[in-house]
Amino acid sequence: MLIRHGDDPPDDRVHAFLLARGLRPELRKPFAGDSLELPDERLAGAVIYGGRFPAFETDLYPFLRAEDRFIGRCIDLGIPLLGICQGAQQIAFHLGATVGPPESGASEFGYYEIAPTAQAGDFLAAPLTVCQSHFHTFSVPDGATRLASSAAFENQAFRYGQKTFGLQFHPEVTVEGFRRWQAAPGARYGMPGAQTREEQDVLMHRHDAAQAAWFHGFLTGFFAEEPETPA
């Protein structure tokens, strides 16, 4: 199950990975009115993508409540669950963590190095430069393990249990996808910490292949069990 918060075409690396395995990704857009049924054990896994909706604004965006219930059911049933950017913030919020803009006012828009923590294990073996686009962050939930950090944001990835992951960064985004973000009216140029377009272009072409290789390896482990229903 792929839960999206925008209308970008489904050309990201998660979607491509599932198609390459012969699976039919099931897309849901609750923000646009799609229903979101609670999953059962037959679900192979779920990915909650990034977006513009603050995880804590459940009164303003009631569909977030349905997503929160979905998150809880996935965790309770041990269904592999991956949250990316907003999705990671939603998982953290569900688990009782603090979510919102940092006191520093910092943001990340471009390509930034993350480093593994001492507890990262085989999640991340060495520093990696990854795609970022955010100005909110999360604290690591109680009982979760911090897996990666960056210079400006201490919490870049966490694992809760063995099958729930939250990533602040965007390894799913291809060069083509990031080009759309660069051209979007709301592109975050000028915010504290944001890179210039020229800096982004250099770093994107220098590091995208390594980011893609790392994420493919992560997804291979994440979707390791053979599914009974489409992802």
**Which residues have a Cβ under 8 Å from the Cβ of 53 and sit 6 or more positions away?**
5, 31, 61, 64, 86
15 is catalytic: no
| Alpha-carbon span 12 to 226, nearest angstrom | 22
| b/e 163-182 (16+ beta carbons within 10 angstroms → b) | bbbbbbbbbbbbeebbeebb
Cα dihedral across residues 121, 2, 97, 211: positive or negative: positive
The answer to whether the beta carbons of residues 184 and 101 sit under 8 Å apart is: no
Q: Is 108 exposed, middle or buried (0-12, 13-18, 19+ CB in 10 A)?
A: buried
Out of 5, 94, 134, 170, the active site residue is: 170
DSSP states of 196-220: PHHHHHHHHHHHHHHHHHHHHHHHH
216 is catalytic: no
Residue with tokens 């269904």: 79
In total, the chain counts a number of residues equal to: 231
The kind and range of the H/E element at 133 are strand 128-134
Out of 5, 85, 108, 131, the active site residue is: 85
131 is catalytic: no
Amino acid at 141: P
Out of 15, 108, 131, 172, the active site residue is: 172
Structure tokens at 204: 């994107």
Catalytically active residues are: 85, 170, 172
